[in-house]
Amino acid sequence: MKLFNRDSPKIKIQSSKKDAFSGWLKCTHCEELIHAQELQDNLSCCPKCDYHYRLSADERLKSIADVDSFQELFQDLAPVDSLQFVDSEPYSERLLLWDW
């Protein structure tokens, strides 16, 4: 009796590799698989271990403010070097690197 038959393999070989994002993520804390939509619906908190992922400022505002209710104030303020702080380079030169 022949165990292996080279002419008709039982295992189907996938010829192309999928590179698309499937939506599944591994939790960095509990290493369980969670879907990205589930994570988003749970406000970036793992539903299995309650690990809280970091939120950007925009994401945090969207989670705590009503829709179209947030109004940014004092947009024209920029930092000043009132102490004339100097480290390896003056603080005022470091401020020039930022796009205020």
Nearest 5°: phi and psi at 23?
A: 100, -5
d(CA 60, CA 47): 18
Q: Tell me how far apart the alpha carbons of residues 76 and 100 are, in angstroms, rounded to a whole number.
A: 8
pTM: 0.52
Question: Is residue 50 very low, low, confident or very high in pLDDT (cuts 50, 70, 90)?
Answer: very high
**Model pLDDT, residue 55:** 92
31: which 2 tokens?
């290493």
Handedness of CA 89, 90, 96, 100 (dihedral sign): positive
Query: Given this model, what pLDDT does residue 52 score?
Result: 95
How far is Cα 26 from Cα 32, in angstroms, rounded to an integer?
5
